[in-house]
Amino acid sequence: MDQGSVARKPALEFVSITKLFPGVQALQDVSLDVHPGEVLALVGENGAGKSTLLRVMNGDYHPEGGSMRFFGETVAFASPAESHASGVRVIYQEPEILADVTVAENIYLGEMPRSFGPVIDWNAANTKASALLSRLGVGEDISPRVRAGTLSAAQKQMVEIARAIKSDVKVLALDEPTSSLSERDSSQLFDIINQFRRDGVAIIYVSHRLPEILQLADRIAVLRDGKLVALRQASETTESELMSLMVGRDLAHRFDHQSFVREDPILKVEGLTTERVRDISFEVHRGEIVGFAGLVGAGRTELAKALFGEDHIARGRVYVPEDLMRRHGVSTWDFSTGRVSDGWRGMMAELIARTRALFEAGRPLCDRVGRELRFEMRLTWLGGASILDRIEAAGGDVFRRRPRHGALDKAALAWRAWRWRPA
């Protein structure tokens, strides 16, 4: 990292930023700045306020207290369009890519070059898009004319970065940019970030991967429960110190492993085969955590989609042993017979089972299930993040009081753990 390239005058300052949601203080009196040519890392646990701070910066959220200064001048971005026009861009963890249009259209979305009147100048759009991709070093790998839905995760991220730099970007924030990238793709991204640093762009970098934070950042800001608890020079801190600051306690003994695995399997998968995965067999026992590892494209997500009925299963069986069926009312699915080929039938079966239970169990159960369904519907409404983010990115003032993503993850996990608790 080039400490000498960091200018003294901040490009962007957060001054006592406070952001409230119903029942939650997402940010409390956060003051922070980032300089041209600097990489400032934001770290913290889920729900610490990192994404909320980026959304305030991008004009998605409006703080209840505090202000922002952009090169010394106080600003209050009313929408993402205003922040983008000023040279402030945020690239979120989930790519905001339209799959069914070309790369060039994604880069110049809403700003397509015109030849005259409303007529789009496709040659100009493709030429300009190609120049941007070449600037990022991916001009030979990504054609501006291909449909964006055919790109890999790393290539989609490059398209997002090209969209951000098509104008004079001065402050660029990246939210968990390497979460779905291979080591090779991550290295390519770091090269691009270092090039931006040399060009004087102020970078805000959010990640849970502390080794890459220490490798890339100049300074590291630690958020916990919506507060800024520490600001460190990357060269003067360690991974252990950062983890302790994130959780608020000493982690000399991080995790005392205890096994709660029982002998009885709760799920069995035999010979599961789809268009994307082949002959997968495993079983999961009660109290066990089973992890699936692999590079991007190895089939982890495709396996999960098949297990939950989103992808069609050509062969194999996914089932729960009979004793667990009687205790929890969970269906046994035999995909090899074709009786259940997608998630809709499974959901309909559960809906029918719930309806019958309501009539058979009487009013007390009706009240309980009603509360459950209302809470589940609430979580579903809160979980529509990707669609709402696109609306907000277009400048709409829709559902701006949605809770933080980290807090929502915790609520959803707690809800499912309670719902499927042992009888």
List the single range of 30-34, 173-177, 315-319, 381-385 with lowest mean pLDDT: 381-385
Q: Region 392-413: what's the mean pLDDT? A: 48
Task: Inform me whether the pLDDT recorded for 289 exceeds 80.
Answer: yes
309-327 confidence digits (pLDDT tens): 778 888 888 877 654 454 4
What is the four-CA torsion angle of 363, 369, 374, 380, rounded to 10 degrees? -160
Stated pTM of the model: 0.67
Task: Inform me whether the pLDDT recorded for 414 exceeds 80.
Answer: no
Q: Which residues contact 309 (CB under 8 A, 6 or more apart)?
A: 333, 340, 342, 343, 344, 345, 346
Higher pLDDT residue, 363 or 340? 363
Task: Inform me whether the pLDDT recorded for 330 exceeds 50.
Answer: no
- Measure the CA angle with vertex 392, ends 94 and 96; round to 5°: 25
Q: Using 50, 70 and 90 to split pLDDT, how confident is the model at 395? A: very low
pLDDT at 200: 93
The neighbouring-strand residues paired with 73 are 70
Q: Percentage of the chain surpassing pLDDT 70? A: 71
Query: C-alpha distances in angstroms, 257 versus 85, 253, 260, 261, 289?
Result: 51, 10, 10, 12, 12
pLDDT at 405: 54
Q: Region 349-357: what's the mean pLDDT? A: 53
* C-alpha to C-alpha distance for 139 and 128, rounded to whole angstroms: 11
List the single range of 6-15, 99-108, 249-258, 411-420 with lowest mean pLDDT: 411-420
List the single range of 58-67, 138-147, 370-379 with lowest mean pLDDT: 370-379
pLDDT at 254: 59
- The distance of Cα 66 from the centroid of its chain, to the nearest Å, equals 26
> Structural domain boundaries of the chain?
3-247, 265-361
Q: Report yes or no: 88 and 80 within 8 Å, Cβ to Cβ.
A: no
Q: Region 250-256: what's the mean pLDDT? A: 63
CATH topology for 3-247 is Rossmann fold (3.40.50)
pLDDT at 264: 78
Residue whose C-alpha is closest to residue 202's, from 20, 377, 32:
32
Q: Region 158-176: what's the mean pLDDT? A: 90
Q: Region 57-74: what's the mean pLDDT? A: 93
Residue type for 161, please?
I
Q: Region 88-112: what's the mean pLDDT? A: 88
* C-alpha to C-alpha distance for 14 and 25, rounded to whole angstroms: 17
List the single range of 211-220, 320-329, 379-388 with lowest mean pLDDT: 379-388
Residue type for 225, please?
D
Q: Region 23-33: what's the mean pLDDT? A: 92
Q: Using 50, 70 and 90 to split pLDDT, how confident is the model at 73? A: very high
Task: Inform me whether the pLDDT recorded for 343 exceeds 60.
Answer: no
Q: Region 145-158: what's the mean pLDDT? A: 88
Q: Using 50, 70 and 90 to split pLDDT, how confident is the model at 350? A: low
